[in-house]
Structure formats: structure tokens, C-alpha cells
Amino acid sequence: MFARIVWDMSEGERLRFAVEGAGEVSAILMRPANARWLLVLAHGAGAGMTHPFLERIARELASVGVATLRYQFPYMEQRRRVPDATSVATATVAVAVRTAAKVAAGLPLFAGGKSFGGRMSSQAASQGLLEGVKGLVFFGFPLHPPNKPGTTRAEHLAKVRVPMLFLQGTRDTLADLKLLRPICRELRSPATLHVIETADHSFHVLKSSGKTDADTLQELAQTTASWAENLKIEA
């Protein structure tokens, strides 16, 4: 069950849905008139769905025909600092996807998110919890803790059965590209790695790159839309 609350439509439509055993959480649906796909977009570990990065990327995605459903994990909704257990987080992703299918019927669905949110989306997909999702989008996949290279966080990706898009910066201390590149090549499902030069985990770029953070947001959105287009998925 979910509830719809009309809010400032320029910012999106407010929704709420229940996660079994964890209470209700908030969500924001941003659906442009020209929407061709919908991305169920989860937040990172330290900030909720209204974090400036998520608000800005949602607007950029809307400008290229990608609707978004941003939502809170229960711990963030309840203003707790420690992220939910994986079982709760993956259940939340699954309910968010089902909610998106209802409120935006007819639009092909993708799931993913920023850092922790993307990883929890892939965990849910690897467990077969995301029925109808056509692909996963990661805005900075957190392959390992900061400056502690490792690959155990990627082991579940072998069980994902839909295409994946990894959007990563060369200065991301949570994803050593020397480790991530071979992982993407070896996955059974198609994996696309798009690298943004000088971007860190928050997608801030150095001035020496000749780009601004705004340019980077546009690149992230346009790359996502182009990737979705190339999948040639029918509604």
C-alpha cells in the first residue's frame, strides 16, 4: 500500500509507502511530460533523498526523459545514523520498485542509486527481488571502504541478470578502477563502465579537467539516457 500527497509539482510528487516490519518511508516522484523510462533512485549512506546531489541529478535526468522515484531507507526516515541491515534495505528497494510500477505504469523501470543505495539495489536484484526492472544504474558504486581496495562487495554482482551501468570518477576512493574494470568485463550480464576524469565519489571534478560539477551532472544524466536508449527496451 502507498499514499500519494500532492506537493509542489515543480519539485515532484510526494508519496509514502510501507516497508514490512520497518514502518513507512517517504518518496518523491519526478515525472517529466516526455518521460521514457523511470529510475528508482536510492540515496547514499550518509544523506537522504533530498541531498543536493540527488535533487540535481533528478532534475538533469528529467531533462533527458528519465523520470525518477527517490525514496528514503527506514533508518534515514527515522533519523538514525546507522544504515539498515541489508535485509531491510533490500526489502525497501523491492517495495520502492513495486510502488514505481504502480504510479508510473507503462514506463520501463530501472533501479539503482548513489553509493550505498546503488549497492543495496544490486543486492536486491541479485536476490531476485526486483521483478520487472530492466537494468541497474550506479552513481559511484562503493566497491570497498575509502582507500581500502577490495572486491568482496562485488561478489553478488555475478548473480544479477540485467544490464548494469557503472558511473565512476577517477578520484573515487571507494572504487579503485584497477579492480572495477576487470569485474565489469567478467560479469555475465552486460556491464557498462563510464569513467569521468578527475571526479571523486561525490562527482566533484577538478578545475584542471576543464569541466564544472554542473557539466558532470549533465554527463551523468545524458550517459544514463543513452545507455537506456541503446538497450532498446519496449514499454
Cα distances from 13 to residues 4, 28, 31, 32, in angstroms, run 8, 5, 9, 11
- For the chain, list the domains and their CATH numbers: 2-231 (3.40.50.1820)
CA 170 to chain centre: 19
How do residues 61-102 score in pLDDT, each as one tens digit? 999 999 999 999 999 999 999 999 999 999 999 999 999 999
CB 107, CB 39: distance < 8 Å: no
- 192, 204, 184: which is closest to 229 by C-alpha? 192
Q: Which residues contact 36 (CB under 8 A, 6 or more apart)?
A: 65, 66, 107, 108, 228
Q: How many Å apart are CA 139 and CA 29, to the nearest integer? A: 19
Instruction: Give the pLDDT of residue 66.
Output: 97
How do residues 49-71 score in pLDDT, each as one tens digit? 999 999 999 999 999 999 999 99
User: What is the CB-side half-sphere exposure of residue 37 using CA atoms within 13 A?
Assistant: 29
Helices and strands in the chain: count of H runs, count of E runs:
6, 9
DSSP label of 33? T
Instruction: Give the pLDDT of residue 80.
Output: 94
What pTM was computed for the model?
0.94
pLDDT higher than threshold 60 for residue 8: no
Q: How many Å apart are CA 124 and CA 63, to the nearest integer? A: 28
